[in-house]
Chain A
Amino acid sequence: MKSPRSKLAPIAHQLVHGALLVACALTGGGGERWTDLAQYESGRDASALRAVDETLRVAIREPVRRAELERCLIEALGAASNADARVFLCDRLGVIGGTAAVSAVARWLRSDPGSASLALAHLPFDAAWEPVRAAWAEASAAEAAQWVGVLEHWRDASAIPMLVAAAAGPDETLAIRACAALASFHNASAGDALWACAHQGSPARRTSAAAAFLRWCQARPRSDTPPEVHRRLASLLEPTWPAFIRRGAWSTLASMDPDQGLARAMQVVREGQDPVVRAVALARWASLDRPDLGQLLCSHWAELTVPDRVSLIQCAAASGTVTPDLLRQGLRDEHAPVRRAALRVIALRSESALVPELLELRQRLEADEAAHIDATLLELWPDPRTDQALLDALDHAVGAWRAALIEIVSRRRIESAIPRVLRDVNAEDVQVAAAAWDGLARLVPGHLAREVLDRILDVKDPQVRARAERAAGLLLSRLPRDARAEWLRSAWARASDRQMQQILVRLASHAPTTDILRWMEELLRSGEPEVSEEAARTIARWPTADAWPVLWSMATSPNPRVPRGLVVQGLLHVARLEAGRTGAVERCRALASLCSAPEERKALLSLLAQCPSVETLQLALSWLDQPEIRAEVVVAVERIAGEVRSRHPAEAEAALEKLRTMSAP
């Protein structure tokens, strides 16, 4: 059965169409798109809606168009047959609607209060108040709860009696909503009503009213707060109220004090009252914007518990009121959590002025806490005073402290520390010497690298040599290629023992010139066995394709000193470096002829997958009948076929078909 509304729809449609055509003529749009406005719902063409928005942009500057658009929207709302249309029309009427829109919107107050409220809240109060007031008397609690948002937005005192009645009424949801709305009214009567509600009804309602009362208090001008409000707020500190009400009441009272709550906070801290209030009081105390705050907090330091001290430092930092005095006090504290809190703030705020204290404290602490200071020193913003303080400390430091300082100055990139650190590369203390090499690797620029590299030849301790080798690798990479090769040759001539020669051979991969590669070949043939094997390893991880012919000749003319596996590994490594370049397929083909063991073929299949072409596809397929590597073949073929499909669809499909055939039961 059709509803009365749907029977009227065609008539309404025509009416709206007529009205909208006027707007259309004014705006120059196409008439047809407007006709769907009143019956718009999701899924339909939205051109009419967007046309309204376009018109609205013009209409806000032109009163004639504005009136016409408003009239069109009113007419459309009168015939709006579904929620989508009503939401849209009410929302736009809320933007440009005037007195004329009130009755059209008010028509939906009962049947679609949500949409109606969207517009009503913004329509002129003088015209819109009466329909709402009249409907309120008859309204259900749910409808009234919806209109509360409108009354709250209007903030007209006429609505207070209605809201007060609702706040004290039988419906819990409406009452709580009304309490929240009353908090937005600045009148004393709203506050009185909220206070009364805070003492009657269910606990939920009482709490809601108390929360709303706090919001009402906060919105009042501070100078205009009568003593009665102070008394009421003080009574909300009773432990019978929930913690958040006590917190809110204390904060509100503090904000009304002439000293912003300082005396009140100090009293709470001294007398150790309610822990909930105590936390808020400490936070308030620490956040007060006073020039004497640091001194004030320090003078009461002894009265505070350890958690209080931590809280004060954190709160002052979060509020931006922390001072160097307070942080110094924190650093001197006998309790580690307090020192830790101060350190965290020093790092976050980059308090360079406290570096001397940090350095002094660092020497007195256990390793665990010392690490926190080191991290803090690293975090500090670059500053010449900080750098100088660290260098001065380095001049006198010994042992683990010296090693830690070398790490700090090098991580902070203090280049003026280089001469000091260089003195330690052969230190008797292995920890210091190792830290010196690590530090130099971070600090030394290319133009000083050679001088530092020469010092590696004097290192005797194996542990330090390992660190020096790592550092030398990094330093070499900062030199021009030719200079690297030249240094290696000259260092070789000065190397005093076999281990140092091995180190230099390993470093050769950082100087990948043709000359050095040839030198490695020579060592491979004529060097001592250990050196020769090291040379083979260096060639196997050579960073350029130049090593291919050398490795290939090693593979085809086996040398008993060089393991075959190493050579194949080297060839695969070079082929991988060149995977996307010319000659990649040829290299793969050559490797296919060389690789016979299943493990070698597996490695080659992974390389083939990185070189997608018809040739590599065929190569991979040719091993499909080998059960030990079939899984790898399938993966490689699928990947290559996927890559070449767009250019060679027939070959790719044939390969995949072959896979399917082979895997069929």
Chain B
Amino acid sequence: MRTNRTWSRRAILKSIAASAPMIVPARVLGLDGATPPSEKIVLGCIGIGPRMHHLLPNFLWFEDVQCVAVADAMEDRLREGKARVDQHYGTSDCRAYSDFRELLARPEIDAVVIATGERWHAWATMWAARAGKDVYCEKPISLTIGEARRMVETCRALGTVYQGGMQRRSVPSYRFARELVRRGCLGRVRRVEAQVWEGSAVPHAAPEPVPPGFDYDMWLGPVAWRPYVRARVAGWIWFWDTGEGIHSGMGVHYTDLMQWTLDRDDTLPVEYEATDLVWPDPKRFMSDLPLRGTFRCRYADGVECVLYQRGTFAERYIRFVGEHGWVQVDDHTDQVTAEPASLLNLRPSRSGGWQNAGDHARDFLDAVRTRQRTLCHPEAAFRSQFICHAWSISARLGRRLVWDPIHERFDCEEANRMMYRTPRSPWAV
């Protein structure tokens, strides 16, 4: 039954604490041959929205993981997240926090999974690293180049194990495409082509009171404060203040695959350009990111990449074009096609699509134990994300950008300024 009760953070924490469990299952104590608690990786989840609901099962599935806490600025999501974790374990142990810093203050938590939206990703990673936690962070991993660079420095200095959430590195179909490229089956790769879907526009909507149970200030976090508008919060990905649109939100999977497949995790393209941009009609829409566009970049050795933002969700793909043929992975169906088609006979008989982040999560969990480098380590994740950020800047400035990798500067002063946005206090660390 719906009541008009206002949920304060304290109230929800109190109600959750009151329902603490009386019985601890034997499984939790490691009495039935399961991993004993002292050897489990204790996990916390920051940002328990739709993406985390896809991601979380990939962690809960592992017997050596115990998720003990969730955090979100929205109380309804917090309740759902806690319920989901509790349901998995058959307990009511999972603690819920509206302020993730309280979650980070728990010393027994080894690692956190972050899926908040990119306005928070880099900063929440830095908060977590500074609290001694290892981090699995969803993509896009940052909102600006500056904060991403700072995140990399922080993880390196503190020895934080970090996995960027570009899970296609762990998906068999993409691994196969990579093997074809790396073993020279396509000859020298000259071009990478990918497609994400057409963007959306958010109609104008006026400010309104912040609804009860929503810590709007926390939700905004490091980005500039604006009056609350529900449509802006729901459609945050389509606003420059809080997101970069789908060429980054999804495109980063493809820039990441490109970097990884071509073995370029330690380098970057030198030219970036966004063209054919179609912007929302400002009379009808308040969102300010392109609906369609073509995003290109070029490495110093001439290899080109083009990302199309067009078409539908089901039409996304990536294709590597070499001198002797090509290989394409259709993301929606996980189907691999190639020219010559005989290349497909080389494929090992494993399956699994992009939804399955299990192997990627496992890679992270192994690294938490061994301190090994993760598959999508901070530097690799940073560079894949950098490409999308550079495209965004090119789109906003309407010009081609040349990157100087030695001095880490663009050939355009305005673009250099757009690499950094001063974070809002006290959310920066």
Contacts and interface: CB of A to CB of B under 8 A. Distances in A.
Q: Chain A interface secondary structure, helix, strand, loop or mixed?
A: helix
Contacts of B424: 114, 117, 146
A49 B159 contact: no
Interface in A228-280: 242-245, 247-248, 250-252, 279-280
A166 B426 CA distance: 14
Contacts of A317: 372
Nearest to A58: B398
A287 interface: yes
A379 B348 contact: yes
Given A46-B285, A114-B224, A248-B159, A318 B420 contact: no
B425 A41 contact: no
A378 B346 CA distance: 12
Interface in A278-325: 279-280, 282-283, 286-287, 310-311, 314-315, 317-319
Report which residue of B160, B286, B288 has the largest number of chain A beta carbons within 10 angstroms of its beta carbon: B286
Interface in A134-149: 142, 145-146, 148-149
A177 B429 contact: yes
Given A43-B229, A46-B282, A280 B158 contact: no
Contact of A248 (B157, B183, B372): B157
Contacts of B204: 42-46
Given A142-B426, A150-B422, A252-B157, A53 B396 contact: yes
B367 interface: yes
A167 to B, nearest CB: 14
Nearest to B346: A382
Interface in A347-396: 350, 378-382
A153 B422 contact: yes
B283 A45 contact: yes
Interface string B395-429: 01111000000000000101001101111111011
Contact of A311 (B183, B225, B372, B425): B372
Contacts of A183: 157
Given A42-B226, A82-B227, A118 B422 contact: yes
A142 B371 CA distance: 37
B398 A50 contact: no
B371 A283 contact: yes
Interface in B129-155: 129-130, 132, 146, 150, 153-154
Nearest to B367: A318
A211 B158 contact: yes
A146 B425 contact: yes
A49 B282 contact: yes
B302 interface: no
Report which residue of A57, A84, A247, A287 has the largest number of chain B beta carbons within 10 angstroms of its beta carbon: A84
B417 A95 contact: yes
A641 to B, nearest CB: 29
Given A247-B158, A378-B349, A381-B346, A279 B153 contact: no
A42 B417 contact: no
Contacts of A94: 417, 421
A208 B158 CA distance: 11
A241 to B, nearest CB: 10
Interface in B198-215: 204-207
Interface in A199-248: 207-208, 211, 214-215, 217-219, 242-245, 247-248
B158 A42 contact: no
A180 B157 contact: no
A42 B373 contact: no
B426 A173 contact: yes
B306 interface: no
Nearest to A51: B282
B130 A208 contact: yes
Nearest to A316: B372
A245 B158 CA distance: 6
A43 B371 contact: no
Contact of A286 (B158, B288, B372, B429): B372
A317 B372 CA distance: 9
A150 B241 CA distance: 18
Contacts of A115: 224
B179 A381 contact: yes
A113 B160 CA distance: 32
B82 interface: no
A483 to B, nearest CB: 25
Interface string A41-67: 111111101100100111011000000
Interface in A145-180: 145-146, 148-150, 153, 173, 176-177, 180
A57 B157 contact: no
A411 interface: yes
Nearest to B286: A46
B374 interface: yes
Contacts of A520: none
Contact of A43 (B207, B372, B422): B207
A41 B227 contact: yes
A50 B282 contact: yes
Contact of A84 (B226, B348, B423, B428): B226
B286 A42 contact: yes
Contacts of A413: 345
B372 A153 contact: no
B324 interface: no
Interface in A72-128: 82-84, 87, 91, 94-96, 113-115, 117-118, 120-122
A177 B24 CA distance: 41
Contact of B288 (A50, A252, A315): A50
B153 A215 contact: yes
Contacts of B418: 95
Interface in A387-415: 411, 413
Given A280-B159, A381-B346, A121 B420 contact: yes
Nearest to B263: A320
Nearest to A217: B157
Given A49-B282, A283-B371, A379-B348, A57 B398 contact: yes
Contacts of B375: 318
B156 interface: yes
Nearest to B287: A46
Contacts of B241: 87
A-B interface, 7 closest residue pairs, ranked by CB to CB distance from nearest: A43-B206, A57-B398, A244-B132, A247-B159, A283-B371, A117-B422, A315-B372
14 contacts: A41-B207, A47-B282, A57-B396, A82-B227, A84-B227, A115-B224, A149-B422, A180-B428, A211-B130, A243-B132, A251-B159, A283-B373, A314-B366, A319-B373
